[in-house]
Amino acid sequence: MTQLERQIDAAKRRLWLNRWLGTTCWAIAIAATSFAFVVLIQRLYDAPVPLLGIGGAMLAGAVIASTVWLVVKREDAPAAAAALDEAAGLRERLSSGWFCRGDSDAFARAVVADAERVSASITAHRHIRLTVPRGLGWSLASIFLVAGVLLITPGLLSSGEASELGVVADRQQTYVAVKRQMDVVRKLVETMPAIEEFSDQLENLDGGAGGDLKRSDDIRHEAIKKIDKLEDAIRQKRAAANYDTVPQMRKMLRGLRIPKPSDGPTRKLAQALAKGDFKTANEELKALQEQLATLKSDDDREMVAKMSKQLAALAKQLEKLAVDEKLAQKLQQAGIKKEDVERMLERLSKKDVDQLKKMLEKSGLSQKKIEQMVKQLQKRQQAGALAKKLAAGMKKGALAENPGQMGEAMAGLAIAGEQLSELEQLEQEMNQLDAAMASLGEARDTIDKPCPG
């Protein structure tokens, strides 16, 4: 590309940019004025119009229209050469050189050479400058017009009846959305045995059904209050110390040693206990009871002897695991007498708790540390008591080897099974309470979000 062609191309681009800026300003002025009219109508009558979407579409349309107009009306090379001649005061020297390109005539070659020489001494950017578009003022004025219209209070010309209809429609929409969530809560309470005691709180759970609540926010707020009340009641039940027995028992039973050999009659029972699988452990215990109830041969007697020995060993392990030596040592270090610690781990009364707190305060422990130790003692005492009952049942079951004490052995295994059933039920209730609180939290979060307009 020659120097002349480069200068003319640069002039074309500068002319195109000036034209596009000018056209865009006029297009934005037209689009903004039209948008101001739309906003005015929306503000006066509070119409449900998506202003953001309309404004974006109009702006995009203005830019596209100005670009299309540029493509249609853009200057070609001769026009750019003439514009550069005029701007630089060259008296058509560049445009003449452009037309004479390719001509073999001596005069034409001289004209081209003159144009090349002149074009080397000028730049299109210096002579064809970017100009302020004439439509810029109108575009800015129309933008300010839009801003002013947006300040108008919505609904100035809307009728009171139309406004009331909008409020009623919004309230009804909110009520339907809230009722849908409350139906989920109602079904949850009705289908979970662990929380069926709270069914009396289901009356008028969705609130506002009678039209007492006029505003959508009031309907949501009332529903959230009912959910919070129900959740607090469930959380209070979940905080009961007996539910903490389940994780404490699991933690305690992890230290249980599995009897050998692998075909031992109580091996599966011990494995289930060590895993904290109370349901399977209970099933294995019932299987042992059935075996004892159907003894027939000498081989069965041999099995009973093995089972009695292993049950006695399990009972001994459970009795040992029921004693938390580390906790007892901590309490003794805090100044509690050994006999008092043993008594508290065996049976803990409210009087003991109050006395323990006072003694721990005297030892200089912080209130937070005192609460932690008391709570840990309560959990451990309950789990330990249950472990001891389980051990006592298995110890009686070990009497099966003595023919005259078979009935007592069967009763002992039944007692152990009751303890496992109690743990299994506590675990089910605990899981249901946790699931209920999670579901109530989701329902509250959903209701707390205003309905999309």
- Rounded to 5 degrees, φ, ψ at 112 are -65, -45
Structure tokens at 399: 């009497």
pTM of the full structure:
0.51
DSSP structure class, residue 322:
T
pLDDT tens-place string over residues 340-351:
777 776 666 677
pLDDT, one tens digit per residue, over 102-135 is 888 888 889 889 888 988 888 888 888 888 888 8
Please name which of 221, 216, 223, 218 lies closest in space to residue 167, comparing C-alpha atoms.
216
Q: What is the C-alpha to C-alpha distance for residues 76 and 105, in angstroms, rounded to an integer?
A: 25
- Give me the pLDDT at residue 208, please: 47
Query: CA dist 183 to 190, 202, 204, 434, Å?
Result: 10, 10, 11, 19
The pLDDT of residue 368: 82
Q: Which long-range contacts (CB under 8 A, 24 or more apart) does 131-135 make?
A: 131/18, 133/18, 133/21, 133/22, 133/24, 133/25, 133/26, 134/22, 134/25, 135/22, 135/23, 135/25, 135/26, 135/28, 135/29
Per-residue pLDDT reduced to its tens digit, 16-68 = 999 999 999 999 999 999 999 998 888 887 777 888 899 999 999 999 999 99
Q: Tell me, what amino acid is at 137?
A: G
**C-alpha angle 380-383-385 in degrees, rounded to nearest 5:** 105
Name residues whose C-beta falls within 8 Å of residue 166's C-beta, 6 or more positions apart in sequence.
46
Contact at 8 Å (CB) between 349 and 322? no
**Distance spanning both ends of the chain, measured CA to CA:** 60
